[in-house]
Each structure stands twice: as C-alpha cells, then as structure tokens.
Amino acid sequence: MLKVLQVIKKKPEVSFEDFEKQVLGTYAKNAKKMPGIKGFTINLIRGGYQVEERPFDCVAEMIFANEESFTKAIEAPETKILLEELERVAERSEFIYSEEHAVKKPRAPAKRKIKKKAKKAKRKAAKKAKKPRKTKKKTKGKKKKSKRKK
C-alpha cells in the first residue's frame, strides 16, 4: 500500500475561505473518484506551534495499492483536468510518498461507549441466568387425618 501526501499552498491573493471552498468542494468531490484510489482525506492547516506563516495550507492524504496505480491515476485525463482546476487557487502542489508507522492509534469514543453498554448488558444477562427464578411453591396438600372415635 502506498500513501501519497499532496501538500498544497494557496495563492496569496486567494482568501482562505475561497481556498477551503474549492478544496473541500470541487477538488474533494472529484479527487475521491480518481482511478485506483483506495482512501482520501483532506487536512486543512489552521495554524501551528510557533509558526508565523503556514508553509502550506492543505495536506491531502491519498492511498493507492502501489506506485504504479498512483502514476496511472495522476496521468488520467480527468485527474489532469482536476489538477489544472486546483491551480486556480493553488500556488504550489507537490506529491510526496509516505510510509506510515502508527505508534499509537486513536480510539473512537463512540465505539467505546457501545462496547461498554454491550458488556453491561452481557453482565446483566449473565446475572439473570444465574439467579433462580422465583416461583410459587406448590404445596402438597396434606391429607387430613381423620379423627375416628373408637
């Protein structure tokens, strides 16, 4: 699997709002349809730690099976049109190959809640299964001893 990072710097005369509309709108809509693309994420840069000027304004993450499938996708006529359209708002756009090494993956909070609820329901069901059911005791009728006079 090949992860390609596309770093994009907007033109100085383009507002960040217009750039954002173009990238999240037309570009994202059509880029996710590139031939051979398996995953696509856009990261807009809002700022940084001790950064006065952003070195770029957007990082697009694209996942392909291999370098060959990426090359085919970039050379496709529809992708060339897409990149030309991006040039209206982008001063610079570069593609970088990346090899990801996840050190710590984030957990999705929604899934944790669901898992907790499921575990709680299982425990509750297990307790119910262990508890004997309260049923009315059937009393066997005692035969009355008849008192006979002898």
Closest CA relative to residue 3, chosen from 73, 79, 60, 78 = 60
Closest CA relative to residue 4, chosen from 82, 106, 73 = 73
138 in any annotated domain = no
pTM, entire model: 0.66
Total domains in the chain come to 1
User: Per-residue pLDDT for 60 more than 60?
Assistant: yes
In angstroms, the first-to-last Cα distance of the chain is 104
The pair phi, psi for residue 43, each rounded to 5°, is -120, 110
| CATH (domain of 7) | 3.30.70.100
pLDDT at 121: 81
Tens digits of per-residue pLDDT, 87-142? 999 999 999 998 888 888 887 776 556 667 777 888 878 777 776 666 655 555 55
104 in any annotated domain = no
- Alpha-carbon radius of gyration of the chain: 33
pLDDT at 126: 79
Which structural domain range is residue 6 located in? 2-98
Q: How many Cβ atoms are within 10 Å of 16's Cβ, its own excluded?
A: 13
